[in-house]
């Protein structure tokens, strides 16, 4: 599967039924109805947007990186990628993408991973796992058991020939976006990454914009 498949969207911002700006370190958890379209906009460029997807009717059936990668025959997400649940059920399809490639291997930052990568003095820093946990705890029927492998929209995590993951400079830029259509009723959980230790965002986490259309 081609690594980069960029495609513009014809949808107009003024037609969106939801328009929200999410600061770095904050999150968003909402349901999309079948056919609704979510756009995530990288306002300032190279901002990682950690995202989880669940079948809203059966939240135990969540996004599966393994099934998605195996089904599409490629490691990265891009225009045309169908994100599958553990059951194999399609959750969302990427229908437009001006960045061109997104990671689904690197996982979410946590207090523990920060200390391993950047030193014990970073343990207290806010992280995506904390944001996920806070939002899951506020939603009935969800909890710690519902954390799983996530998508990192706009993040560049190349795989070396020996299978090692590397966290590289971003491939996104200001105003680039990814747009996905819900194939079923889907719960979307987003953490706009607060990471201050990774140079891929110039040590400066920034806001994102979310727009939703009914079709």
Residue found under tokens 């194939």: 183
pLDDT tens for each residue of 169-182: 668 999 999 999 99
Q: Which long-range contacts (CB under 8 A, 24 or more apart) does 64-68 make?
A: 64/148, 64/149, 65/104, 65/105, 65/149, 65/151, 66/149, 68/104
Residues 98, 10: Cα–Cα separation, whole Å: 12
Q: Indicate the Cα dihedral angle 79, 136, 60, 80, nearest 10°.
A: 0
- Name the band, by pLDDT with cuts 50, 70 and 90, for residue 26: very high
pLDDT tens for each residue of 151-174: 999 987 666 566 565 555 668 999
The three-state secondary structure class of 139 is coil
Is the pTM higher than 0.85? The answer reads yes
pLDDT tens for each residue of 75-103: 899 999 999 999 999 999 999 999 999 99
């Amino acid at each position: 599967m081609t690594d980069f498949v960029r495609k513009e969207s014809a949808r107009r911002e003024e037609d969106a039924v939801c328009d929200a700006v999410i600061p770095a370190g904050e999150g968003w958890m909402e349901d999309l109805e079948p056919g609704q379209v979510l756009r995530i906009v990288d306002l300032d460029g190279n901002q990682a947007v950690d995202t989880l997807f669940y079948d809203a009717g059966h939240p135990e059936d969540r996004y599966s990186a393994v099934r998605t990668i195996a089904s599409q025959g490629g490691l990265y997400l891009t225009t045309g990628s169908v994100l599958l649940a553990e059951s194999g059920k399609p959750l969302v399809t990427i229908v437009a993408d001006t960045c061109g490639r997104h990671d689904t291997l690197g996982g979410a930052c946590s207090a523990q991973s920060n200390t391993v990568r950047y030193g014990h003095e970073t343990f207290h820093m806010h992280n995506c796992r904390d944001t996920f946990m806070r939002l899951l705890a506020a939603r009935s029927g969800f909890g710690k058991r519902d954390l799983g492998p996530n998508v990192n929209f706009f993040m560049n995590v190349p795989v070396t020939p020996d299978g090692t993951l590397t966290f590289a400079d971003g491939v996104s830029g200001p105003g680039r976006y990814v747009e996905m259509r819900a194939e079923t009723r889907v719960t979307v959980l987003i953490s706009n990454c607060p990471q201050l230790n990774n140079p891929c965002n110039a040590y400066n986490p920034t806001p994102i914009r979310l727009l939703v259309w009914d079709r």
